[in-house]
Amino acid sequence: MGGTVLFVCPHGAGKSRIAAAWFAQAAPPGWEATTAGLEPQPHLSAHAPRLLAGSGAEHLLDQALPRPLSAIIDPALTVTIDCPPGAVAGAVEWQLQHADFDERMTAELRERVRQLMQELHQ
C-alpha cells in the first residue's frame, strides 16, 4: 500500500510543512507527503525553515504557497495538526503539547511522524 499523507494545520504554512518534511525524509516505500491549510495564509511561515535548519530535512521543506484543502485530491491519510476537533472529517487529529514554534514543538512533530511511519509500515 502507499499514497499521499496530507498534513493540515490552520494556515498550511508552518506545522504541516515541518511534519511533511520529516515524513519525506524517511517515508515508507510508496508514500509521500503534502500539506494544506484550513485557511491558507499567503506565504510560507518563517518558522518552518528556521526550525528545520541543520536537521537534514530542510531541503525537503515544501516552498510552494500554502494550499487550501480543496487543492489536494483524495489523500490516503489526512493528519490535522492543532486544528479544531472535527475540522476535517476522518482525519487523524494531533493536538500538540508544545504548540509554540520552538525546538520542543519540532521534536514532538518529528516523534509523531516517526510513530505514524511505523504504523504505515505494518
Burial classification of residue 26, based on how many CB atoms lie within 10 Å of its CB (0-12 exposed, 13-18 middle, 19 or more buried): exposed
pLDDT at 1 over 80: no
Q: Rounded mean pLDDT of the chain?
A: 95
- pLDDT bucket at 61, cuts 50 / 70 / 90: very high
pLDDT at 122 over 90: no
Domain 7-121 listed as CATH 3.40.50.10800: no
pLDDT in tens, 3-37: 999 999 999 999 999 999 999 999 999 999 999 99
**Cα(102)–Cα(105) distance, integer angstroms:** 5
pLDDT of residue 121: 82
pLDDT at 99 over 90: no
pLDDT in tens, 66-77: 999 999 999 999
